[in-house]
Chain A
């Protein structure tokens, strides 16, 4: 079906989802072209054939024809439209939830750059390196206004909303460098909030990852915070305060006060840190203070990664080429984006996507 459209009219398709979207797009284009040709063809034909004073036959139309035609084409359009809805919606439902073994990448948008932190420790600015063929789950948030994370080659777009998390996922099918853009208007340099997504072969990715300075691992940062911010005072196993032990709870269902069940995931952990009194686990007193304003979004993400590393929940990541968590030591974070560094002068031309390069 892809051959029906000239290549220069279609953007590069480099994810599993892109192929599906293109199929629906081409299908809809064909249906639409047929309808446009039908309508324009009929309008032109009627207008010429029944032009004023022509000799065409103009016998009266029986009333019944009109009614049957109306019902006929109403039903036909409704049928076609509902079919397209079903087609598009089923593709969408199939892509609702990411595969369990996805690599998790936290994305923070801020005026006017993208910061990414993979759960295996890689932190980048305006760049994202991912292995080909591996599902990647994006957890997005923003530090200021709404941004939108858009990779045309993956047909992927998701808004990053301040103080909320949104999710999306993709699985790249081609190696190369692809454009990343902001598509939710966010102020002066909205048009320069660009970046690159670099898709690599798994072994190249592993090599790239191991060449990264170590110690900026999310979970280890979180571990440090866990004691610095005083969480361990209550949540550590030997604590005198009666607080839930966090080991092994990731991905589990916990019983809440009031009988509800909650699954321990990023959103639940975030809520428990910021609004601890909202969903208290059954059997515990609501004594925890809120950490709202005491922790940044990034720190919450690090704490979440730490809690997650404590328990092998169903979503635990096993990424090729990543050393086990215990073998890595905490250290200073480093930012190493060659593309854009905050504060650096911005060129008037945005950085082009560049040709697709195989590393």
Chain B
């Protein structure tokens, strides 16, 4: 192996670095399928998760493509009403529960959390493996619902439509989500226990990288919000399949109570999708600006504040539902409050660039795109927190555009930023940088072309979940569908060049970005036990320059962050 590196002129490797006769990497410790499917190594489980979420991403993406194609014209010319309804439900259910929620925590979180805090593995490795199986089984159950005729309730499963009126495979679909909920809770328990108990010597709470903080706060939401969804699903199944009256309005049940329970989970779930992306952005932006993060303490407080206050705001999904207007005012106020810590994060990322040595490698391009898209998504959130505007745009394309800016524009950009940033660490290979930069730029423009017109269509009054629509909205839908084609190409591109790099990419050195985190203080890819010896931490994270001094051009990292024993 080492000889090949030495021969390769493209490699940045110091030939000595890999020629030390070190233990084999986690990738080469057993190559059989069985060795992967029974592995309790957090890094291998992360790879398993990466494969399954990628599969679900493309299933959900295929449904979205059909939806956008259908909306190209105002008439129903591609699919009929029922098929369309099943397509957007499939898109929502798969993307929310089998891509967005597990995406960053179970792949990057699983792989990096122990590495970043200097641990050998997560606290409960067997539970970690079990969580992957639960996630895949849940996904397969939900996919079975598609084979059994599909689900047409929308991902929100509102009663009484889902319990008494829909004739589709709702029960199977929600049971899949229920099973995947166990997987989510297991991951949350694991991450919280790991962060508390397995930090390396010297890794105090305020020396944790922000990505670890993001995983920790996300896990709190995992553990405390998911059970409410699980119970809500049981209530729906009990009413639909066991015939117990639960929300049945004819018997005095309250459908609005379902919405409270559902959004108590599903609003914090938005922060499950958001916080991990914020963690990745903080890691990448410091590395490519060669600066310490601006206001580390405030970044931590902001993460915690978003995670906690995020639980207080669910009612803004229900302003038109017939909820009491007094409760609506409370929820409106709390929704404005939760926007403050998000704004602080944007300002701090911006300020981190100031007086830096900014490089434009592909992870950084994704992150710069993230900041723009997140700002637009966050500010349109203020529109939706204002009751009079929300009443007008609730359940229109304005809402669709808003949450896609947050959950797709921002979070998926962060996902790709992380993928490009840590790809050398995961696989030990470098990808073609030009292609990666091109995909990043294409993704940004494709995304805006797809979703910005939807803000306008929504304010003009185009409702969501319409497969036929009044013809005056066609111009916005044509723009949006064209953008979706560009976006689809941009999402497929990394699949191609990253796969190529697995076989033909240059070997990666241990720390190709000259980054500061502990995860770079081991080989690429890391060995089964993660580190050679016990890492110790001596300083705050993002130690790109001495405190109070300016970063110099390509200054080598000062070697106090972690030591290789």
Contacts and interface: CB of A to CB of B under 8 A. Distances in A.
A162 B249 contact: yes
Contacts of A53: 357, 553
Contacts of A144: 160, 165
B54 interface: no
Contact of B320 (A28, A145, A159): A159
**A25, A53, A85, A95 interface centre (most CB from chain B within 10 Å):** A85
B353 interface: yes
B475 to A, nearest CB: 9
9 contacts: A43-B372, A60-B550, A66-B295, A78-B337, A85-B386, A89-B333, A92-B388, A179-B470, A353-B472
A110 to B, nearest CB: 11
A148 interface: yes
A166 B328 CA distance: 14
A32 B329 contact: no
Contact of A88 (B339, B359, B368, B387): B387
B264 to A, nearest CB: 18
A284 interface: no
A188 interface: yes
B344 A59 contact: no
A191 B391 contact: no
Contact of B463 (A39, A67, A181): A181
A24 interface: yes
A58 B386 contact: no
Interface in B443-469: 456, 459-461, 463-469
Given A20-B388, A25-B383, A40 B553 contact: no
A210 B321 CA distance: 35
A161 interface: yes
A243 interface: no
Interface residues of A, number: 87
A254 interface: no
Nearest to B89: A185
A67 B463 CA distance: 45
Interface of B: 74-76, 81-82, 85, 152-154, 156, 158, 160-161, 165-166, 249-250, 252, 254-256, 289-290, 294-295, 298, 320-322, 325, 328-329, 332-333, 336-337, 339-340, 343-344, 346-348, 350-351, 353-360, 368, 371-372, 375-376, 379-380, 382-383, 385-389, 391-392, 394-396, 456, 459-461, 463-472, 548-551, 553-554
Interface of A: 9-11, 17, 20-21, 24-25, 28, 32, 35-36, 39-40, 42-43, 46-47, 50-53, 56-63, 66-67, 69-70, 73-74, 77-78, 81-82, 84-85, 87-89, 91-93, 95-96, 111, 144-146, 148, 150, 152-153, 155-159, 161-164, 166, 179, 181-192, 293, 348-350, 352-353
Contacts of A61: 354-355, 548
A155 B392 contact: yes
Nearest to A354: B470
B469 A350 contact: yes
A77 B249 contact: no
